[in-house]
Structure 1
Amino acid sequence: MAPRRRERPRRSLWHWLGSALLTFSAILGVIAIVTVAVCAVFGLRPVVVISGSMEPTLPVGSLIFYRTVPATAVSKGDIVTVPRQDGGTGLITHRITEITTKGGVTTLHLKGDANATADPLPYVVSSVGSFVGVIPVAGTIALAARTPLGIAAVATYVAALVAVIVFGRRREKAPSRHTGARRVPPVAAE
């Protein structure tokens, strides 16, 4: 008689949803860890693009990375990130149109690729953020996570993840080896 094949237990929608959620979370975790490690090792800083002044090169909502370098290390045509000179807070990421260094003082003239005119004020700097790379859309996600609706979405996601871990991953009871086995009557000894 051929041995009986064990039937696999049917997977529920809860199980598949839990597996997808845990896999997605693991992927996000790895991406976050790698990004933080790369930024730390290479001295990179992230900035979110919030205006269209550098489109199409740097679309609104992109996450850009820059490395702080001496102002003398950049040249005309480079994309740099510098503190605002108009009294506002924040940073400006534009392209260098003119650079002059006199007596150890570096002055930059910048212009956004999408702007018709150059920035009105020059930037007197000793160091700048030299553009390294961009991840489109990632900045939008980062900014959205800081809004009340984003915080609620993240909290809901975490609650669902905890629910899956605590309640949804319980192992189904393995079927008994004796289940379904037929009994053989004892044989009388002669």
Structure 2
Amino acid sequence: MRRRRTVTQATTPAPLTRRAQRESGTTAPRPRPTARGVLSEVLLWVAALAGLICIVLVVLAFTAHITLIMFRTGSMSPTIPAGSVAVVQQIPAAQVHVGDVVTVDRPGQLPVTHRVRVVEDGASPAQRLITLRGDANAQDDPAPYPVSTVRIVRFAIP
């Protein structure tokens, strides 16, 4: 009869969990983050935040009719200087009041953003004739604008 030889294998202990390593004091200290690592982490967070802002703006544009416009002229200075970006929301013309700053679309021309000086009834119940003037201008715009909707400036960022 043959004898069986029992072979025992050497076993290594299972690695300690992080908590066990911490408690036993066997953890290696974490290396200090490099300037490049910190910069890449900051840039990643900035990009993520910018992406989130874009998503929010798209949702607002479709659900609340909110968009951004940029002021290229100084006709609304000093209230809204040239180069400012404004958040505007489309509203019915019936909700416009004297003193509001609104953007009016003009067929074949760029939109105009000025302060409302006069609001009059238009040809239909939903339409209004509004007279505008830029804060930096000495006179009202040449003619009233017939509108059924306008974009009201909610706030501007210089």
TM-score (norm 2): 0.71
SS in 2 for 1:94: strand
2:132 corresponds in structure 1 to 110
| Distance (whole Å) between structure 2 residues aligned to residue 70 and residue 12 of structure 1 | 55
Shift, 1:34, TM fit = 2.4
- Which 4+ runs in 1 deviate beyond 4 A? 2-5
Matches within 5 A, 1:57-136: 57-84=79-106, 89-104=109-124, 105-134=127-156, 136=157
Shift, 1:102, TM fit = 4.3
| Distance (whole Å) between structure 1 residues aligned to residue 33 and residue 153 of structure 2 | 49
TM-score (norm 1): 0.61
Partner amino acid for 2:78? P
Shift, 1:30, TM fit = 2.1
Partner amino acid for 2:56? V
Give the aligned length. 133
CA offsets per residue over residues 147-186 of structure 1, 9 Å max, x none?
xxxxxxxxxxxxxxxxxxxxxxxxxxxxxxxxxxxxxxxx
**CA-atom RMSD in angstroms:** 2.3
Shift, 1:106, TM fit = 2.4
Structure 1 or 2: more helix by fraction: 1
- Specify the structure having the higher radius of gyration (Cα): 2
2:66 aligns with one of 44, 49, 52: 44
CA offsets per residue over residues 42-101 of structure 1, 9 Å max, x none?
22122111111112222222221222222222122221111237xx52110111111211
Distance 1:6 1:114, change over 3 A: same
| Distance (whole Å) between structure 2 residues aligned to residue 32 and residue 103 of structure 1 | 39
Distance 1:60 1:3, change over 3 A: same
SS in 2 for 1:76: coil
| Distance (whole Å) between structure 1 residues aligned to residue 70 and residue 26 of structure 2 | 60
Show structure 1 runs of 5+ residues with no match: 138-190
SS in 2 for 1:27: helix
2:5 corresponds in structure 1 to none
SS in 2 for 1:21: helix
1:27 corresponds in structure 2 to 49
SS in 2 for 1:81: strand
Partner amino acid for 1:100? E
| Distance (whole Å) between structure 1 residues aligned to residue 76 and residue 132 of structure 2 | 11
